[in-house]
A = this chain, B = another copy of it.
Amino acid sequence: MRSSLAFFFHPKSIAVIGASNRPGKLGHEILRNLLEGGFSGRVYPVNPKGGRIFGLKVYQTLDSLPESPDLALIVLPPAKAVEAFERCGRLGVKAAIIFSSGFSEVRNEELERRLVETCEKYGIRLLGPNCAGVINAHENLYATMEVRIAPGPVSMVAQSGALGGIILALCEKQGIGMSKFVSYGNACDIDESEVISYLAEDPETKVILVYLEGVKNGRKFLSALREAVRKKPVIVLKGGKTGSGSRAARSHTAALAGDNRIFQAVLRQAGAIQAENIEEMLDLAQVFLSYSHMHGNRVCIVTNSGGPAVVAADHCEEQGLKLPPPTQKLLEKLEFLPQYCPKSNPIDLTAEADGERYRKTLEAVIRSGEYDGILVIFVPPFFVDVVDTTQAVIETAWENRRTPMVACWTGTGVEKCIEMLREAGIPTYTTPQKAAKALKALWTRNKTQRKAGFGAGGGI
C-alpha cells in the first residue's frame, strides 16, 4: 500500500537527515528554512554527531527518534541518501524528499533503481532525487531551500528547482501568493502526473503551473492533465522543445524530452495553456486569478495613446482574437467622445482622457454586449492624474465583473497604479503583447470548458 501525497503537504512530524550546524550547508539551511518558516509540527534533526542545532536535540540515528516521522528530508551524498531512504522505509516513514543530485542525471541509474525498490518494498513515497523540495505556504511548511513565499492561490509543479525558484521570486515581486510548490527532479517515484492530479483536487489551488522537461509515461500524463484541466487552468512550460534543449534536459533531469510536435499536440488536446517562456507562466496565471474564461474572442481595445494600441491590435490578431468595430448603436452611446477620437476599435480616448472618459467609454463598451473582453491601455501623459484614472478603471471593472478586462499600464510613473490594479484583481501588464496573450489564454480556457460541457461564468 503506497502512502498518499498528503504526507508531503500536511506532515505532523519531519526528520531532517543530514542536519548540519554549519551555516551555508544545505543540511543547515533546509532545517533553518523549516523552522523560520514556522512549521507547527515536530522537527527531528538527525546527524551521527549529535548535539543541538537551533536549540533542537540532534538524534544520532534514525532509529532513536521518539516516533516514525511522516516526512523525512534527506540531505546526504547520493550513496548515503540511498541507505538513509532504505532505513526510512523500514521504520515506516510515510514520505521522503532526497534533495541531492548525482543520480540518473549523471548516469548513476543503479542508485536510482535501489530507491525505486525501497518504494515498492515499503510503500514509502519519494520526491526527487535532485530536487528542491516542497512548500505548502498555507501551513507554513517550507521543506525547501527556495524562498519562503506568502500563501496564495497558485500552485507549481517544477521538474527544475531553480526554474521553480525563479517563478517563486516573480510571484513575490508581483505580490502573488502560492499554495503548493513541488520540485520533483528525477521523478524516480512521484512524477508530474501524480502531483498534477493531487493539485487538481486541492481546494487551495486555483491555478496550476507546470514546468517539465520530459514525461516517462505519456498516457498517464495525458490522462492526469485532461482531468486537471476539467477542474482548473493548467499552464505548462515545456523545456527540451528543440534538439539542443532536449539534449540539455537529458543531462539535467535524465528526462527524455520526446518528440516536441507530439507533445505540443498532447498539451493542446488536453486543453492546457502553453507558456512560451518563464515569465509568461506567471503572466498567464495572473489572469486566471481574476477570471475563469472569456465567452468569445471579440476584444475591444480602449486606449489613451495610438501607438501602443496599434501594437496591441497586432498582438491580439496574432493571438487569434478579433477586433470588430463598434456597431452604429454603440457608436451612438460613444457620442460624448470628442469628434477627433478614433472610435473604430481601438477606441482612442486620446492623451487628454481623464478617469471620467475612461469610465463612460468602458461602461458603454461593456453594456453593448458587443465584446467578450476588453484590453484597456493607459500611458500617462504628464498632465493627467494617474491615480484618478486608474481608480476609475478599477471601479468600472468592479461594477461590470462579467466581462474580463485586462490592463496594460506602461510609461513613466505607473508603478504604484499597477499595484493598485493588481490588488483590485485586474490583471495588469506592462506591454500590450502580454495583455493580448492573457486574453488569448482566457479564450482558450473557454473552449476547453465548453468541450467539457461546463456552463459559462466570469467574474473578478
Binding site for B on A (CB under 8 A): 24-26, 29, 101-102, 105-106, 145, 147, 158-166, 168-169, 172, 211, 213, 237, 239-245, 247-249, 251-253, 276-279, 301, 304-311, 313-318, 322-323, 339-340, 342, 344-346, 348, 350-351, 379, 381-383, 410-412, 430-433
Contacts and interface: CB of A to CB of B under 8 A. Distances in A.
Contacts of A379: 162, 165-166
Contacts of A315: 277
Copy tally for this chain in the complex stands at 2
A34 to B, nearest CB: 13
Contacts of A249: 310
Contacts of A162: 304-308, 351, 379, 381, 411
B248 A160 contact: no
A307 B211 contact: yes
A101 B158 contact: no
Contacts of A241: 314, 318
Contacts of A307: 158-164, 211, 213, 239, 252
Nearest to A413: B169
Q: Which of A310, A345, A382, A432 has most B Cβ within 10 Å?
A: A310
Contacts of A242: 313-314, 317-318
Contacts of A165: 379, 411-412
Contacts of A168: 412
Contact of A411 (B159, B166, B277): B166
Contacts of A213: 307, 310
B311 A163 contact: yes
Contact of A310 (B26, B145, B160, B276): B160
Contacts of A411: 162, 165-166, 169
Contact of A106 (B239, B279, B313, B339): B339
Q: Which of A25, A244, A317, A412 has most B Cβ within 10 Å?
A: A244
Given A242-B318, A277-B311, A279-B431, 17 more contacts: A24-B383, A26-B383, A102-B340, A162-B379, A165-B411, A165-B412, A213-B307, A241-B318, A244-B322, A248-B309, A248-B310, A248-B346, A251-B306, A251-B346, A252-B342, A277-B315, A278-B410
